[in-house]
Amino acid sequence: MFYRDERLALFIDGSNLYAAAKSLGFDIDYKLLRTEFMRRGKLLRAFYYTALLENDEYSPIRPLVDWLNYNGFSMVTKPAKEYTDSMGRRKVKGNMDIELTVDAMELAPHVDHVVLFSGDGDFRPLVEALQRKGVRVSVVSTIRSQPPMIADELRRQCDNFIELDELRDVIGRPTREPRVEETSTDTVDA
């Protein structure tokens, strides 16, 4: 439930939202996402959190980060840490939970409603703390994926759970039709 006169802030856990949308088979159109929440209330800020691989020549997330930065999103990034696990696999670690939590608590006195785009159960204490400050909290994630992308304790704590799949038609990128190569209908008689 949203009220037109309430002050909103969006907090997007980039990797979590990306994984949830991918599990549902669609891509997010961030321009549509921002427009949708501007329609639902007075959008003060839209934060996007992601870790970036600094040493790679090309990062696939870099064009998105640059676009978001120029189109009304407050970008919060930090260098991801690369390591090799015990099985010899290359792993990347770039948790942004603390940055998101600090920003949400600092902004809490200036907003009525926080929309958290993440299903990470580690955010349950943040949701509870925001609620103690009188801020309503909606969480956007999905239970329709296998396994569900939202932690049960986070879903129970928030004031409102928004199923990401139900936003597909509003914030999803239109799917591109695959090209069908023309096939010849000529037949040869033997």
Tell whether 12 is covered by a domain: yes
Tell whether 183 is covered by a domain: no
Pick the residue with more confidence: 165 or 179? Answer: 165
- E strand spans, the chain: 7-13, 42-52, 74-79, 81-84, 90-93, 113-117, 136-141, 160-163
Tell whether 184 is covered by a domain: no
Tell whether 1 is covered by a domain: no
Q: Is the dihedral of CA 155, 150, 29, 57 positive or negative?
A: positive
Give the whole-angstrom CA distance, residue 24 versus residue 131: 29
Pick the residue with more confidence: 76 or 185? Answer: 76
The per-residue pLDDT for 181 is 52
Tell whether 181 is covered by a domain: no
Pick the residue with more confidence: 82 or 1? Answer: 1
- E strand spans, 19-130: 42-52, 74-79, 81-84, 90-93, 113-117
Domain region containing 100: 7-82+92-171
Tell whether 2 is covered by a domain: no
Number of structural domains the chain divides into: 1
Backbone angles phi, psi at 188, to 5 degrees: -115, 125
Tell whether 132 is covered by a domain: yes
The per-residue pLDDT for 87 is 84
pLDDT tens track for 109-167: 999 999 999 999 999 999 999 999 999 999 999 999 999 999 999 999 999 999 999 99
CATH number of 70's domain: 3.40.50.1010
Judging by DSSP bridges, how do beta strands 81-84 and 90-93 pair with one another? antiparallel
Q: With residue 36 as reference, give the H or E element that holds it.
A: helix 30-40
Tell whether 108 is covered by a domain: yes
pLDDT tens track for 16-48: 999 999 999 999 999 999 999 999 999 999 999
Q: Is the pLDDT of residue 189 over 60?
A: no
